[in-house]
C-alpha cells in the first residue's frame, strides 16, 4: 500500500487534555478516548461496540460537497456519560434514540456525544448524526485521503477512510454491518460493499442502496460513484460483480475488464486452498483515479489501473477477504497477518501457475536482501512503516519458512484452520503463533522469534525453515 507517517499520541495525554478521567470500566463516566490501539491511540472509542451503520450520503461533484445522515446501532460496553466517534466533517445535529443531545468537537477528528443521562452498560441504542462538508479539503495527521475529481469519487484508503464520509468507531477491532445509500446525478452509477438492493431516481438525482450482510471494519467500507461499465454473474453459487471506469481510454478499459473478470475464477481457486469464501458476494472495481495502490474493501476490492494485467495483485486483494477482512486485526501493529498472508498467496498462485516455487522465492530473498530490510520487526513495524516492503515480503517469507519446517500437509492445515477458527473475529500475532504450534505439535517459539521480532537475517538453519534446494 503506502507508508503513512503520523505522530504518536498518548492515551493518557489525550484524556487529560480533554479533562476525562481514566475511570474503571464499571464506573459511570465518559468512555476512554480511543480504542487502545498502540499505534493510533485516538482511533475509535473505548466504551462502545457498534453493531450496524446505516449511511445516507449525497455527493455534489461540482462543489466537492458531501452531506449525510448516518445512524449507528451501538451497544454500551461500560456506563457512558459521553462517548466519541471519529468524523472529520462539520456536524449540525446528533440524536440518541430520536431525541436531540449535546455534542462537542474536542479536535478536528473527534465528535464527542453527550447523552442527556448516563447510558447503562449493556444497553443498545441508536445514534443519528447529521453532517455536511468538503472532504477534499480535509487532511488529518498528514493524511489527505479523499479521492475524487469532477467525474468520479472513490473512498479507498487505510488505516483511515471512514472519517471522511461517515461517523465511525474507526478501529479494525469493531466490525459492524453496513447499509450504504449514496445520492449522485442519475446518469452515474454507485458501487459499494455487498449487494445492491435498490436504486431510486428522483429528477436529476438517483439514490443507490447497498447492503453487506457480514460485519466489517470501518476502513473496509467504501463507495465509488461515476460512469462505470459493469459485468456480473454467478459462479458456484457465489454472485460476482465487477466494474471499470468509463473515464479510462478504450484499450485500458478493455484490459482492465479482462483482469476484473478473472475475479470469480481466482476466488474459486483461493476457496480450494483456504476453505469456503467467507462472504455473500465478491467483485472488484477499477477506478480512473490514481490512488497508487489497491485495497481489499470487503467483498469488492478497489484497484488503480494495473498495467500488464497484474493477476497477482487481484490474487493478493482477494486473499485479503480471508486474511484481513474475515480474520480481522485486533491492532494495527499485527498488519503482517494481513499483508504477509496475502503476499504468500501471491507466491503460491505463481508456484501453481507455471512460475517458480515459493521455496525458491524464499531462498532468493534470504540470500539477496540485505541492509534495512532485516531491521524491521515484522510483528511491530511501527506506525510509519506499516506498509513497508518487509511487512509484505518478510511476512510471506515467514509463512513459506513455516511451510518448509512443518511440512506441506501440516502447513495447509494451519492456514485453512486459522481462516476457519478466526473467521469473523479479530486476531493477534501471538494467537497465530499459538495456533500454529498447537496444530503442528512443535515448539515454534524460536522460529517465530527469528522471523518476526529479531531485527536481523534469520540463520540458515532447518530450525528456521531454511534449507538449500537440492
User: Rounded to an integer, what distance in angstroms lies between the CA atom of residue 470 and that of residue 461?
Assistant: 15
What share of the chain has pLDDT > 70, as a percent? 92
Q: What value, to the nearest 5°, has the Cα angle with vertex 185 and ends 180 and 186? A: 90
Please report how the helices 408-421 and 389-406 are oriented relative to each other, as an axis angle in degrees rounded to 10: 120
Domain boundary among 311, 339, 355: 311
Q: What is the pLDDT of residues 293-307, one digit of tens each?
A: 999 999 999 999 998
Predicted local confidence at residue 374, as pLDDT: 96
Give the position of cell 501453481.
352
Domain boundary among 219, 248, 272: 219
Predicted local confidence at residue 468, as pLDDT: 67
Q: Where are the beta strands (DSSP E) in 282-340?
A: 282-286, 302-303, 328-329
Comparing CA positions, the residue from 221, 222, 175 lying closest to residue 35 is 175
Position 7 pLDDT exceeds 60: no
Task: Give the three cell numbers for residue 133.
Answer: 462538508
Contacts 24+ apart (CB under 8 A), 194-197: 194/280, 194/281, 194/299, 195/239, 195/280, 195/281
Predicted local confidence at residue 69, as pLDDT: 98
Q: Judge whether 82 lies within some domain.
A: yes
Number of separate domains in the chain: 3
Position 372 pLDDT exceeds 70: yes
Position 467 pLDDT exceeds 90: no
User: Rounded to an integer, what distance in angstroms lies between the CA atom of residue 66 and that of residue 84?
Assistant: 21
Position 13 pLDDT exceeds 90: no
Q: Are residues 338 and 272 part of one domain?
A: no
Q: Are residues 235 and 91 part of one domain?
A: no
Comparing CA positions, the residue from 84, 82, 52 lying closest to residue 70 is 52
Reported pTM: 0.92
Q: Are residues 275 and 207 part of one domain?
A: no
User: Rounded to an integer, what distance in angstroms lies between the CA atom of residue 61 and that of residue 49?
Assistant: 33
Predicted local confidence at residue 229, as pLDDT: 98
Q: Judge whether 317 lies within some domain.
A: no
Task: Summarize the confidence of residues 97-108 as an average pLDDT.
Answer: 97
Position 470 pLDDT exceeds 90: no
Q: 171 in helix, strand or coil?
A: coil
Q: Are residues 110 and 90 part of one domain?
A: yes
Q: Are residues 356 and 376 part of one domain?
A: yes
Q: Judge whether 197 lies within some domain.
A: yes
Predicted local confidence at residue 93, as pLDDT: 98
Q: Are residues 214 and 141 part of one domain?
A: yes
Q: Judge whether 97 lies within some domain.
A: yes
Predicted local confidence at residue 309, as pLDDT: 74
Task: Summarize the confidence of residues 72-89 as an average pLDDT.
Answer: 97
Position 456 pLDDT exceeds 90: yes
User: Rounded to an integer, what distance in angstroms lies between the CA atom of residue 410 and that of residue 103?
Assistant: 54
Task: Summarize the confidence of residues 128-155 as an average pLDDT.
Answer: 97
Q: Are residues 213 and 65 part of one domain?
A: yes
Q: What is the pLDDT of residues 47-72, one digit of tens each?
A: 999 999 999 999 999 999 999 999 99
Task: Indicate the range of 8-12, 147-151, 230-234 predicted with least confidence.
Answer: 8-12
Q: Where are the beta strands (DSSP E) in 311-470?
A: 328-329, 426-427
Domain at 444, CATH number:
1.10.390.10
Predicted local confidence at residue 31, as pLDDT: 55
Task: Indicate the range of 123-127, 140-144, 345-349, 429-433 predicted with least confidence.
Answer: 140-144
Q: Judge whether 316 lies within some domain.
A: no
Q: 315 in helix, strand or coil?
A: helix
For the beta carbon of residue 252, count every other beta carbon within 10 angstroms. Answer: 17
Q: How far is CA 447 from CA 413, 418, 458, in A?
A: 18, 18, 9
Predicted local confidence at residue 307, as pLDDT: 81
Please count the residues of the chain.
470
Q: Are residues 158 and 86 part of one domain?
A: yes
Task: Give the three cell numbers for residue 21.
Answer: 478521567
Domain at 135, CATH number:
2.60.40.1730
Task: Give the three cell numbers for residue 407.
Answer: 511440512
Q: Are residues 231 and 214 part of one domain?
A: no
Predicted local confidence at residue 17, as pLDDT: 35
DSSP string, 220-251: G--EEEE-EEEEEEEETTEEEEEEEETTS-HH
Mean pLDDT of the chain: 92
8 Å CB contact between 432 and 444: no
Q: Judge whether 470 lies within some domain.
A: no
Q: Judge whether 320 lies within some domain.
A: no
Domain boundary among 170, 192, 219: 219
Position 11 pLDDT exceeds 80: no
What share of the chain has pLDDT > 90, as a percent? 89
Q: Are residues 231 and 181 part of one domain?
A: no
For the beta carbon of residue 211, count every other beta carbon within 10 angstroms. Answer: 18
DSSP for residue 451: I
Side-chain half-sphere exposure of 229, counting CA atoms within 13 A: 16
Q: Are residues 98 and 237 part of one domain?
A: no
Task: Summarize the confidence of residues 270-281 as an average pLDDT.
Answer: 98
User: Rounded to an integer, what distance in angstroms lies between the CA atom of residue 194 and that of residue 177?
Assistant: 10
Domain range for 453 is 329-464
Q: Are residues 194 and 153 part of one domain?
A: yes
Q: What is the pLDDT of residues 198-246, one digit of tens each?
A: 999 999 999 999 999 999 999 999 999 999 999 999 999 999 999 999 9
Amino acid at each position: 500500500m503506502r507508508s503513512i507517517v503520523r505522530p504518536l499520541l498518548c492515551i493518557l495525554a489525550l484524556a487529560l487534555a480533554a479533562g476525562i478521567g481514566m475511570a474503571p470500566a464499571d464506573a459511570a463516566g465518559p468512555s476512554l478516548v480511543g480504542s487502545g490501539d498502540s499505534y493510533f491511540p485516538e482511533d475509535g472509542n473505548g466504551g462502545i461496540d457498534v453493531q450496524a451503520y446505516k449511511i445516507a450520503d449525497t455527493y455534489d461533484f461540482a462543489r466537492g460537497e458531501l452531506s449525510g445522515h448516518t445512524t449507528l446501532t451501538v451497544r454500551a460496553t461500560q456506563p457512558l456519560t459521553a462517548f466519541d466517534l471519529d468524523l472529520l466533517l462539520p456536524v449540525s445535529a446528533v440524536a440518541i434514540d430520536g431525541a436531540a443531545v449535546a455534542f462537542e468537537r474536542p479536535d478536528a477528528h473527534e465528535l464527542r456525544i453527550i447523552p442527556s443521562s448516563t447510558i447503562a452498560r449493556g444497553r443498545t441504542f441508536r445514534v443519528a448524526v447529521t453532517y455536511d462538508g468538503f472532504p477534499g479539503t480535509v487532511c488529518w495527521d498528514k493524511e489527505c485521503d479523499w479521492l475524487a475529481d469532477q467525474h468520479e469519487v472513490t473512498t479507498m484508503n487505510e488505516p483511515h477512510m471512514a472519517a471522511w464520509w461517515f461517523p465511525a468507531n474507526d478501529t479494525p477491532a469493531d466490525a459492524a454491518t453496513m447499509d450504504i445509500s449514496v445520492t449522485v446525478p442519475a446518469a452515474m452509477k454507485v458501487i459499494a460493499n455487498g449487494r445492491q438492493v435498490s436504486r431510486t431516481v428522483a429528477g436529476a438525482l438517483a439514490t443507490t442502496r447497498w447492503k453487506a450482510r457480514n460485519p466489517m471494519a470501518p476502513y473496509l467500507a467504501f463507495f465509488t460513484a461515476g460512469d462505470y461499465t459493469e459485468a456480473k454473474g454467478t459462479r458456484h453459487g457465489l454472485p460476482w460483480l465487477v466494474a471499470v471506469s468509463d473515464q479510462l481510454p478504450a484499450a485500458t478499459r478493455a484490459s482492465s475488464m479482462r483482469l476484473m473478470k478473472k475475479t470469480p475464477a481466482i476466488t474459486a481457486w483461493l476457496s480450494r486452498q483456504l476453505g469456503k469464501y467467507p462472504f455473500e458476494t465478491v467483485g472488484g472495481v477499477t477506478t480512473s483515479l490514481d490512488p497508487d495502490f489497491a485495497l481489499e474493501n470487503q467483498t469488492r476490492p478497489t484497484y488503480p489501473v494495473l498495467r500488464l494485467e497484474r493477476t497477482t495483485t487481484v490474487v493478493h486483494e482477494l486473499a485479503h477477504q480471508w486474511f484481513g477482512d474475515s480474520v480481522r486485526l485486533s491492532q494495527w501493529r499485527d498488519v503482517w497477518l494481513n499483508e504477509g498472508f496475502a503476499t504468500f498467496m501471491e507466491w503460491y498462485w505463481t508456484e501453481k501457475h507455471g512460475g517458480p516455487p515459493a521455496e525458491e522465492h524464499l531462498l532468493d530473498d534470504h540470500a539477496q536482501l540485505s541492509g534495512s530490510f532485516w531491521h524491521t520487526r515484522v510483528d511491530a513495524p511501527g506506525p510509519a512503516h506499516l506498509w513497508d516492503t518487509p511487512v509484505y515480503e518478510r511476512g510471506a517469507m515467514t509463512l513459506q519458512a513455516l511451510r518448509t519446517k512443518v511440512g506441506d500437509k501440516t502447513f495447509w492445515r494451519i492456514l485453512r484452520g486459522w481462516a476457519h477458527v478466526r473467521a469473523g473475529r479479530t486476531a493477534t500475532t501471538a494467537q497465530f503463533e499459538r495456533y500454529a504450534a498447537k496444530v503442528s505439535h512443535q515448539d515454534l517459539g524460536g522460529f517465530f522469534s527469528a522471523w518476526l521480532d529479531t531485527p536481523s537475517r534469520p540463520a540458515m538453519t532447518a530450525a528456521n525453515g531454511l534449507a538449500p534446494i537440492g
